[in-house]
Amino acid sequence: QVQLVESGGGLVKPGGSLRLSCAASGFTFSDYYMSWIRQAPGKGLEWVSYISDSISHTNYADSVKGRFTISRDNAKNFLYLQMNSLRAEDTAVYYCARDQGGGSHANWGQGTLVTVSS
């Protein structure tokens, strides 16, 4: 069955960097678009970024554009999110998700918590 396991979260100071990873299994990873979605403590969901199956297309929410970079390794079945210049407002649980046609997020990982604080 589809399994997505995020890792790499933790406590980081404002202005710092962190790289999140998402290990995918149970499906042909290279056939699917993938997304990162986050949820601040006690708040709603916020779409962060997506990457196409062939890596040719990416896009970002305005709130992270220029600071975050999404990437993937189709040979290793991994999705990544490089987060630079982190701010307090980036504090959230970060989920990776497998996308399907139309951009709905069909499967989600359990999430990894990123806390930005001095």
**Residue 28 engages another protein in binding (rule: CB under 8 A):** no
Nearer to another protein, 102 or 118 (CB): 102
CB 92 within 8 A of CB 18: no
**Residue 105 engages another protein in binding (rule: CB under 8 A):** yes
Give the nearest distance from C-beta 20 to another protein in angstroms: 15
Nearer to another protein, 62 or 75 (CB): 62
**Residue 61 engages another protein in binding (rule: CB under 8 A):** yes
Euclidean distance between the first and the last CA atom of the chain, given in angstroms as a whole number: 40
**Residue 55 engages another protein in binding (rule: CB under 8 A):** no
Nearer to another protein, 2 or 11 (CB): 2
- Among 3, 17, 54, 100, indicate the residue that binds another protein (CB under 8 A): 100
**Residue 95 engages another protein in binding (rule: CB under 8 A):** yes
What six digits make up the tokens of 59? 């896009």
Q: Which residues of 64-80 are buried (b: 16+ CB within 10 A; e: fewer)?
A: beeebbbebeeeebbbb
Binding site for another protein (CB under 8 A): 35, 37, 44-47, 50, 57, 59, 61-63, 95, 100-111
